[in-house]
Amino acid sequence: MYKKNVFEKYQDNLEPVFAFNEEYRKFLSTCKNERFVVNFAKIIAELHGFKEINALKSLKPGDKVYAINKNKNIILFVVGKDKVVNGINVLGAHIDSPRIDIKQNPLYESQGFALLDTHYYGGIKKYQYVTIPLALYGVVVKKDGTVLDINIGDNEGDPVLGISDLLIHLSANQMQKTASTVIEGEDLDITVGSLPLKGEEKDKVKANILKLLKENYNIEEDDFVSAEIEAVPQGPAKDYGLDRSMIAGYGHDDRVCAYTSLRAVLDLKEIPNRTACCILVDKEEVGSQGASGAQSRFFENTLAELLDKVGELSDLNFRKCLSNSNVLSSDVSAGVDPLYANVNELKNSCFLNNGIVFNKYTGARGKSGCNDANAEYVAKIRKIMDDENIYYQTSELGRVDQGGGGTIAYIMANLNMNVIDAGVPVLCMHSPMEIVAKLDVYEAYQAYIAFIKNA
Ligand code: MN
Ligand code: MN
């Protein structure tokens, strides 16, 4: 199998590739958690003529609608010419990323510092999260329902936060530990202050932080109970490499596929034959369960609403629609890292700059937990990509028995839809600085458009 560098395709005019990626870079820099992505998607969708699905009594071909679930999950549809019962084309991506969550009773004082206790979210190498600047994002919801938005660290003039690590001079014992224990989960606490409150006797620094929280944000200590605050790497995504061919940033997994999938649906110029759908889900990094995850009934519920509004709703039609539908589970793949190429079996691995990656299956060990796309569906997708001159590659997630992972593919496939994983190759996945190649980002966008139009 011959892999082709996407550069061949765009070498005479890289301008559109770089322009698209600059928009993506800005998106990634500002949308650092699922709530921000949903809000961004809502705003940009409305600019593209989408309306909240309940605002329309009935739907006809060409209508564009969206629905938001729990502020962390959004679905968009462009109604196609064909009957919905004949199936829809779905791009599904996740918009949560590994991070450090603030606990519900987090604030404490120790040795003259005020700290926030945390519980990490998703699969991280904990040692990558110490001694880097962190920003806080999230919401605090007051008992009366008032929502206070938290966004500290990335605005001009903001302070940053961080997690300390032991100085090398005194690390004789620490350096004997294995990488999985060198930083313990309970030691990922975030430093938030060191100034005492005047006149206070006990826990003076904590008292001062509480005073600041009250004055600046109207937050009381008890309000952390009904808050979702997430510490994420601070700073914007940046061009990576002297040739600026890549982007380094936090959260490419999976906002790179979320953004390109969203744009593919937003940028449709003509009414598609089959109804086009983009769903952006939360909670993939912790197993996709819960109301805002891919396992939620939200997808099915909203699809039923759609069938109702196009005048096709029946229990049987709903089931037929699912069985007739095609899905790209848009999620990133593990690109070959030149420093660690031996974890891959190179014939069945993906490389940066070689285009969108199709994973027939993921899983671990004997393909455990995977969605294994059926060969007939893979053939159909292959033809679409070749007909549209999309540069693509196929890959497994590493050598057999090296490790493994999963995506939302099997969850969508459990509804009896046709599903295959398709996404952008990434280096340093789940680290605070993930890397993607701009050519792959652009080619994924083109591939998603080809799928929406032709699947
Ligand atoms: Mn992912
Ligand atoms: Mn992931």
Task: List CB contacts of 1: < 8 A, sequence separation 6 or more.
Answer: 347, 394
* 393 Cα–ligand 1 center, Å: 18
- Please tell me what DSSP assigns to residue 225: G
* Tens digit of each residue's pLDDT, the chain (455 residues): 668 999 999 999 999 999 999 999 999 999 999 999 999 999 999 999 999 999 999 999 999 999 999 999 999 999 999 999 999 999 999 999 999 999 999 999 999 999 999 999 999 999 999 999 999 999 999 999 999 999 999 999 999 999 999 999 999 999 999 999 999 999 999 999 999 999 988 999 999 999 999 999 999 999 999 999 999 999 999 999 999 999 999 999 999 999 999 999 999 999 999 999 999 999 999 999 999 999 999 999 999 999 999 999 999 999 999 999 999 999 999 999 999 999 999 999 999 999 999 999 988 899 998 889 999 999 999 999 999 999 999 999 889 988 888 899 999 999 999 999 999 999 999 999 999 999 999 999 999 999 999 99
227 φ, ψ (degrees, to nearest 5): -130, 155
* 197 Cα–ligand 1 center, Å: 44
Residue type, 271: I
Look at the block and give the residue holding tokens 């450090």: 100
| Rg over CA atoms, the chain | 23
Q: Please state whether 15 falls in left (phi above 0), alpha (psi between -120 and 50) or beta.
A: alpha
* 406 Cα–ligand 2 center, Å: 8
* 253 Cα–ligand 1 center, Å: 5
Residue type, 42: K
Q: Which of 237, 248, 250 has its CA nearest to residue 99?
A: 250
* 57 Cα–ligand 1 center, Å: 36
**What are the C-alpha distances in Å from 414 to residues 104, 111, 115, 139, 347?**
34, 52, 43, 33, 30
E-state strands within 7-112? 51-52, 64-69, 73-78, 89-94, 99-110
**What are the C-alpha distances in Å from 273 to residues 9, 84, 416?**
27, 10, 21
Element containing residue 214 per DSSP (H, E): helix 204-217
Residues with CB under 5 A from ligand 2 (ion): 253
* 196 Cα–ligand 2 center, Å: 40
Element containing residue 232 per DSSP (H, E): strand 227-233
Pairing of strands 190-193, 326-329: unpaired
Q: What is the pLDDT of residues 104-150, one digit of tens each?
A: 999 999 999 999 999 999 999 999 999 999 999 999 999 999 999 99
Rounded to the nearest 10 degrees, the angle between the axes of helix 375-387 and helix 438-454 is: 110
* 96 Cα–ligand 2 center, Å: 8
Q: Which of 380, 360, 375, 361 has its CA nearest to residue 274?
A: 380
Does the pTM surpass 0.85? The reply is yes
Q: Which of 287, 284, 268 has its CA nearest to residue 276?
A: 268
* 334 Cα–ligand 2 center, Å: 10
* 152 Cα–ligand 2 center, Å: 24
Residue type, 83: K
* 112 Cα–ligand 1 center, Å: 39
Give the three-state DSSP class for 92.
strand
Q: Which ligand minimizes its atom distance to the CA of 95?
A: 1
* 285 Cα–ligand 2 center, Å: 5
Q: Other CB atoms closer than 10 Å to residue 104's CB: what's the count?
A: 13
Element containing residue 418 per DSSP (H, E): strand 418-423
* 97 Cα–ligand 2 center, Å: 7
* 349 Cα–ligand 1 center, Å: 17
Q: Which ligand minimizes its atom distance to the CA of 256?
A: 1
* 374 Cα–ligand 2 center, Å: 24
Beta bridge partner(s), residue 149: 139
* 302 Cα–ligand 2 center, Å: 26
**What are the C-alpha distances in Å from 116 to residues 33, 129, 201, 315?**
19, 15, 21, 49
Q: Which ligand minimizes its atom distance to the CA of 294?
A: 1
**What are the C-alpha distances in Å from 412 to residues 294, 299, 300, 344?**
8, 9, 10, 27
